[in-house]
Amino acid sequence: MAKTQRTIRYDWNDVVYFLEVARQRSLVRAAAKLKVDHTTVSRRVRELERSLNSTLFKRSKSGFTLTEIGMRLLQYAEGMESQANSIVEAIGTDTTDAGGAVRIAAMEGIGSFYLTRCIADFNRIYPSIQIELITDTRLLDLSRREADIFVSFFRPHGKRLSIKKVGEFRISLYATDAYFGGRSPPTTVKDLETHAFIDFIEDYIYSKENRWLSDVLRPPHTIFRSTSLVAQSIAVSAGQGIAMLPSYVASGNAELFPVMPELFTTRDIWLSVHEDLLHVARIKAVTTFLEKRIEADKAFLNSVQNQRSRRKRNG
């Protein structure tokens, strides 16, 4: 005799509220996104948990985090959302109306100095998509939805990730007139041995791709170290020493000038997304934009020139 399968009944509209809380990790922020009262969001999430007889979130003062069951449901919920968005695309509706939050994780330097500028242009095209940029020293797990998109200098590892190399950038030596104090800049590697350098803290480098100074030189004297590329950039601008800086960091600083530009290294730019998110309209909008923007900026990302260099050339 065949066993009767019990059907769990729930209101699939409640899944919309579940998805937004999972992304915003806050009832208030989720309510603002959905344009309802936060009590409505709370009630709909509780109703979904009751219908599924499962606890979907861990609630704490820091916000809402998914339980293991919640993580499993998230995969199916995003699949439902993807299918719903596919209906819109199938009938030819303009996808620029796609809205919601997209969380991008990136290293501090490329996130602060490059991606932030790109995002400003992106939001002029997609004003209804909110970008959340995480610049963290630790590696975030896309499989656990700590971020939707990961921009990195290395090829990440993880289950069911769509990983693509989308470009590369150049890293060169830079300094300021204030550092040299009237002295002539070095012209040989031997000359560099007498100078002070700025670099990362070795103990806190979590990826070998950040060891870019050692690609061209192992200086005997390092005067300042920091885990922050922003701090290193400020230190160079203040005249503390010479540092290896990516093109996108040096490009906007007219005080910097390249030191022995023939000494440089490059790093790849990788774009990673969990496979379950590939067809979500807002995710696709962001990844497509970033791929095209990085390709369009190819010459800029591989240049040693900055504002000062361009002024001299045009002067």
The pLDDT tens digits along the chain (315 residues) read 455 555 567 888 899 999 989 988 899 989 988 888 999 999 999 999 999 999 999 998 888 999 999 988 988 887 787 777 666 556 555 544 567 788 899 988 999 999 999 999 999 999 988 899 998 756 666 666 678 899 999 888 877 889 999 999 999 999 999 999 878 899 999 999 999 999 999 888 777 888 899 999 999 999 999 999 999 999 999 999 999 999 999 988 889 999 999 999 999 999 999 887 887 888 999 999 999 999 999 999 998 876 555 455 445
Q: Is 84 in contact with 47 (CB distance < 8 Å)?
A: no
Instruction: Provide the pLDDT for residue 96.
Output: 47
Instruction: Provide the pLDDT for residue 42.
Output: 93
Phi-psi domain of 245 (left: phi exceeds 0; alpha: psi -120 through 50; beta: other): beta
Residue whose structure tokens are 């030191």:
259
Instruction: Provide the pLDDT for residue 7.
Output: 59
Instruction: Provide the pLDDT for residue 62.
Output: 82
For the chain, percent helix, then strand, then coil, each to nearest 5?
Answer: 45, 20, 35
Instruction: Provide the pLDDT for residue 236.
Output: 97
The residues, ordered by sequence, that sit 6+ positions from 17 with a Cβ below 8 Å of its Cβ are: 30, 34, 40, 41, 44, 45, 48
Q: Is 304 in contact with 169 (CB distance < 8 Å)?
A: no
Phi-psi domain of 73 (left: phi exceeds 0; alpha: psi -120 through 50; beta: other): alpha
Helices (H) and strands (E) in the chain, counts: 14, 11
Q: Helix or strand or coil: residue 113?
A: helix
Burial 172-183 (b: 16+ CB within 10 A, else e): bbbbbeebbeee
